[in-house]
């Protein structure tokens, strides 16, 4: 029987939440960015944070918004979060986080929230604080505001290939285009253009004071196998480390061997394993 109940956290416990997030700066980066930007007031944060542990000793948290993300969730915390969440309708589009916690949650929630569209149980989490030793591609640069129309088709292709559904399906792509435009405006979208067409792209999708998390890495199909990705990633990493954050991190599907080789050549090291459940 669970002796520590799950509770929704408010702004008064923000410092305790931030201390926990500092203990897992890479796996908890997406939650840390939201907390830094919006705090814990659910009406401003577009989500809510559940806490496990006493008020004096917060042990684990779980972000519930567009994604469900457990952070530092022990086995007992996973059981408690799952017990609470099993009484609610699923609103999130994915569960993502440290593999043991995500798969533990899914074991307990699948009967209530299933079926999943895809389960990715082994996604290496990688990070580095060092500048890459490989030479960066001088043609890779930050995307300019007037280039969103050129970037957007590549972003849609990447999303569809990676997630398995098109971001245009739900609302014609309006929300996704806003997201892409916001990243460009913030100086967090990178691309290499050849004859006006994107042949490589990547974004700093999450930025905290501890790390810049790279997502959306994509090479145009006709350019794959030419060896452009390593130098292109090195350019992204160099700019991110010099301008944005003290480390760069990302996670990758275990079966994506070409990408894993690129990241290894760029100097990334393993810092854990994530898992993702997609709905």
Give 198-228 pLDDT, tens digit per residue: 999 999 999 999 999 999 999 999 999 999 9
Q: What pLDDT, on a 0 to 100 scale, did the predictor assign at position 170?
A: 81
Provide CB contacts within 8 A for 149, sequence distance 6+: none
Nearest to 74 by CA among 118, 24, 114, 30: 24
- pLDDT tens-place string over residues 118-176: 999 999 999 999 999 999 999 999 999 999 999 999 999 999 999 889 999 888 889 99
pLDDT band at 47 (very low <50, low <70, confident <90, very high): confident
Name the DSSP letter for residue 137. Answer: P
The average confidence (pLDDT) of the chain is: 94
Q: Which residues does residue 49 pair with via DSSP β-bridges, in sequence order?
A: 63
Task: Write down the pLDDT at residue 41.
Answer: 77
Q: What is the pLDDT of residue 178?
A: 95
Can you tell me whether residue 22 is helix, strand or coil? helix
24-44 pLDDT, tens digit per residue, is: 999 999 999 999 998 987 666
| Confidence (pLDDT) at 54 | 83
Q: How far is CA 217 from CA 23, 183, 200, in A?
A: 27, 14, 8
The pTM of the full predicted model, rounded to 2 decimals, is: 0.92
For the segment 248-259, the average pLDDT, to the nearest whole number, is 96
Spatial contact of 74 and 59, defined as CB atoms under 8 Å apart: yes
Residue 42's pLDDT is what? 66
pLDDT band with cut points at 50, 70 and 90 for residue 56: confident
Residues 6+ apart with CB under 8 A from 124: 251, 252, 254, 260, 270, 272, 273, 274
Q: Is the confidence at residue 58, as pLDDT, over 90? A: yes
The angle that helices 174-185 and 148-163 make with each other, rounded to 10 degrees, is: 120
Residue 2 pLDDT greater than 70, yes or no: no
Per-residue confidence (pLDDT) for residue 263, from 0 to 100: 98
What letter would DSSP give residue 156? H
| Count of Cβ atoms closer than 10 Å to residue 89 Cβ | 7
Structure tokens at 249: 């991190």
**DSSP label at residue 205:** E
Q: How far, in Å, CA of 235 to CA of 204, rounded? A: 13
Reported as a pLDDT band with limits 50, 70 and 90, residue 55 is confident
Question: Which residue is it, tokens 């995307």?
Answer: 143
Q: Is the pLDDT of residue 3 over 80?
A: no
Task: Find the mean pLDDT for residues 228-239.
Answer: 98
């Amino acid at each position: 029987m669970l002796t520590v109940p799950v509770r929704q956290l408010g702004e008064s416990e923000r410092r305790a939440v931030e201390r926990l997030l500092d203990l897992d700066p890479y796996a908890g980066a997406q939650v840390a960015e939201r907390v830094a930007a919006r705090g814990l007031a659910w009406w401003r944060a577009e989500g809510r944070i559940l806490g496990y542990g006493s008020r004096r000793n917060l042990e684990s948290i779980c972000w519930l918004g567009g994604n469900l993300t457990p952070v530092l969730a022990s086995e007992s915390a996973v059981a408690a979060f799952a017990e609470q969440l099993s009484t609610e309708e699923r609103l999130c589009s994915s569960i993502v986080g440290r593999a043991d916690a995500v798969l533990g949650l899914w074991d307990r929630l699948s009967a209530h929230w299933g079926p999943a569209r895809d389960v990715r149980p082994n996604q290496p989490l990688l990070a580095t604080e060092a500048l890459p030793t490989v030479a960066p591609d001088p043609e890779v640069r930050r995307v300019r505001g007037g280039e969103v129309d050129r970037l957007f088709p590549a972003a849609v292709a990447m999303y569809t290939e990676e997630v398995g559904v098109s971001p245009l399906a739900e609302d014609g792509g309006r929300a996704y285009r806003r997201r892409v435009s916001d990243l460009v405006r913030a100086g967090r979208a990178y691309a290499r253009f050849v004859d006006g067409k994107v042949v490589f792209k990547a974004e700093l999708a999450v930025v905290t004071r501890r790390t810049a998390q790279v997502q959306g890495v994509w090479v145009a199909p006709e350019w794959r196998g030419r060896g452009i990705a390593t130098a292109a990633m090195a350019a992204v990493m160099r700019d991110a480390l010099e301008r944005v954050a003290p480390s760069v991190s990302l996670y990758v599907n275990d079966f994506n061997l070409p990408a894993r080789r690129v990241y290894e050549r760029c100097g990334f090291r393993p810092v854990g394993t994530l898992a993702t459940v997609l709905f």
